[in-house]
């Protein structure tokens, strides 16, 4: 099934629609969501992306991430992706809206540029990793990482993280996330 996404301008206004594949190949600006799951005792839950993914295969990224389908909103996408990727029915009153950011990353493996507006959310998760069903062909697993490890990764840890983690924006968001404790 071909996924259709909205193409947006620099003010996040919809200016067109196209397939996800075409948008990624051409580096067109589009919308995504991230939901960061955290537990103050264990840290921040990272998703190990499937090796079959077209962007950053095999690397660690946001707990829950997904594209906003054409005609849909950020919030409903965050709830849908949380259910699809991790089988979680989030308590909507506890889903923190953090901020919307503009990102630009380059994937060395696929040689594609990802231009996005990402609406970032946070959610306290006290469950066990073992209880999270994995979405086949999307996720290879989850790992708890401490904030300190994410902000100051060793060289071998850095090779496991998607390129976004090296940005100042990412580090600022992770610090804000931790302040929600």
Residue pLDDT, tens place only, 42-64 = 899 999 998 888 777 899 999 99
Rounded to whole angstroms, the Cα distance separating 18 from 120 reads 23
Cβ contacts of 109 within 8 Å, gap of 6 or more: 56, 57
Q: What is the DSSP string of 100-169?
A: EEEEEEEETTTTEEEEEEEEEEEEE--S-GGGSPP-TTTEEEEEEE-HHHHHS--HHHHTTB-GGGGSHH
- Name which of 41, 49, 63, 47 is nearest 123 in CA terms: 63
Q: What residue numbers bound the domain in which 174 lies?
A: 4-179
Half-sphere exposure of 90 (CA within 13 A, CB side): 26
Distances from the Cα of 58 to the Cαs of 51, 127, 168, in angstroms? 4, 24, 23
How many domains is the chain built from? 1
pLDDT band with cut points at 50, 70 and 90 for residue 167: confident
Average pLDDT across the chain, whole number: 90
144's tokens? 């708890």
What is the length of the chain? 181
pLDDT band with cut points at 50, 70 and 90 for residue 5: very high
Q: What is the mean pLDDT of residues 4-25?
A: 95
pLDDT in the model for residue 44 = 92
39's tokens? 């537990």
Rounded to whole angstroms, the Cα distance separating 107 from 109 reads 5
Q: Assign residue 94 the CATH number of its domain.
A: 3.90.79.10
Residue pLDDT, tens place only, 86-127 = 899 999 899 999 999 998 887 777 777 889 999 999 999 989
Only one residue has tokens 């996800």, namely 20
Rounded to whole angstroms, the Cα distance separating 119 from 112 reads 21
pLDDT at residue 65 greater than cutoff 70: yes
The proportion of the chain whose per-residue pLDDT surpasses 90, expressed as a percent, equals 59
pLDDT in the model for residue 181 = 62
For 36: left if phi > 0, alpha if psi spans -120 to 50, otherwise beta; the answer is beta
Helix, coil or strand: residue 90: coil
pLDDT band with cut points at 50, 70 and 90 for residue 149: very high
pLDDT in the model for residue 138 = 83
pLDDT in the model for residue 108 = 72
Only one residue has tokens 């990764």, namely 153
């Amino acid at each position: 099934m071909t996924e259709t996404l909205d193409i947006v301008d620099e003010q996040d206004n919809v200016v067109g629609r196209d397939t996800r594949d075409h948008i990624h190949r051409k580096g067109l600006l589009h919308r995504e969501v991230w939901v960061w799951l955290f537990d103050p005792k264990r840290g921040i839950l990272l998703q190990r992306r499937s090796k079959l993914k077209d962007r950053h295969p095999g690397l660690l990224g946001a707990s829950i991430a997904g594209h906003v389908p054409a005609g849909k909103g950020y919030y409903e996408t965050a709830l849908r992706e949380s259910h699809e990727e991790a089988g979680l029915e989030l308590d909507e009153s506890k889903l923190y809206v953090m901020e919307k950011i503009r990102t630009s990353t380059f994937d060395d493996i696929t040689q594609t540029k990802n231009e996005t507006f990402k609406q970032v959310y946070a959610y306290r998760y006290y469950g066990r990793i073992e209880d999270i069903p994995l979405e086949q062909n999307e996720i290879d697993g989850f790992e708890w990482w401490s904030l300190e490890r994410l902000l100051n990764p060793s060289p071998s840890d850095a090779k496991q993280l998607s390129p976004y983690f090296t940005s100042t924006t990412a580090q600022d968001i992770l610090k804000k996330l931790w302040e929600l404790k």
